[in-house]
Amino acid sequence: MHEKVAELLDLLRLERIEDNLFRGQSRDIGTRFVFGGQVLGQALSAAQRTVDPSRLAHSLHAYFLRAGDIDHPIVYLVDQTRDGGSFSVRRVTAIQHGQPIFVLSASFHLPEPGMEHQLSPPDVPKPEDLPESPSLSPEELAKLPAKTQRWLTKRGAFEFRHVYPRNELEPTKRPPYQQTWFRLVDRIDDDPAMHQALLAYASDFHLIGTSTLPHAVSYLQPNVRMASLDHALWLHRPLRVDEWLLYSCDSPSMQDSRGLARGSIYTHNGVLVASTAQEGLVRITGGS
């Protein structure tokens, strides 16, 4: 197995401390604080460990309360709120240095037959017809802080191919939507709970950035501060994150230094497997 994939799987396999208490390690991927997707994936993983495996997550709603410390583990406390005839609900609090940094509510459902419909995917090129994401030149990288350089040069567990790539160092104004293909760089086993946790992790990539497109600003600019405030994920159908998925995002509003973004996630064959929504802080500071 690819080293980065194995590392990410280990990150999401939490240590059980007590019946409803788990501990997860943090991983430095070049961001200033713990990557939001890591906390999302780990919190969902903690909730999954307390639910009958026949029940799969169908929705989660979360708030980011404080920035996570990359150098310390995170403890996840699970409240087994309810187990009904076909639904289970869990609430998870992520704690670091004695304070809550994140809260999540997740609902699980025993699969059952019923009516179905979905919106069609956007008409975009397939991933095999797109180049890999371009890398910045050594001269461009040299202008950035060392931590940011690691973020941009470190090959992670996911591969991304952008339908409409842009230069984050020289952003231009664009309509508030984007599409990105992504997948794990290696094959993993069939555990549906792990595929869901990995999707939760990946769903935090590129989402809130969609709200910056009409304003020609980028997270790489030193006077731009961005942070996730909340995150919602609905899981509609079975999925595999080691096969190509299309993340189609749009941003209906930006106001009061808060951007709202929505996403639809489709398989290579156009099956809608998940939907997302996120509001994030996008603040322009006095620096340049």
Can you tell me whether residue 198 is helix, strand or coil?
A: helix
**Nearest-CA neighbor of 55 among 129, 106, 121?**
106
**Residue 230 appears among annotated catalytic residues:** no
> Exposed/middle/buried for 67, CB within 10 Å: 0-12, 13-18, 19+?
middle
Distance CA 103, CA 49 (A): 17
Catalytic residue among 42, 178, 211, 228: 228
The structure tokens listed for 33 are 């604080």
Helix 192-202 × helix 3-12 angle, to 10°: 100
The structure tokens listed for 257 are 């230094």
Distance CA 98, CA 206 (A): 30
Catalytic residue among 26, 38, 179, 278: 278
φ and ψ of 217, to 5 deg:
-120, 160
**Nearest-CA neighbor of 47 among 103, 110, 112?**
103
Distance CA 1, CA 238 (A): 23
Can you tell me whether residue 156 is helix, strand or coil?
A: coil
DSSP 8-state assignment for residue 127: G
**Residue 25 appears among annotated catalytic residues:** no
Helix 36-48 × helix 192-202 angle, to 10°: 160
- Cβ atoms of 228 and 66 within 8 Å: the answer is no
**Residue 54 appears among annotated catalytic residues:** no
Catalytic residue among 204, 211, 221, 275: 204
User: Which residues does the annotation mark as catalytic?
Assistant: 204, 228, 278
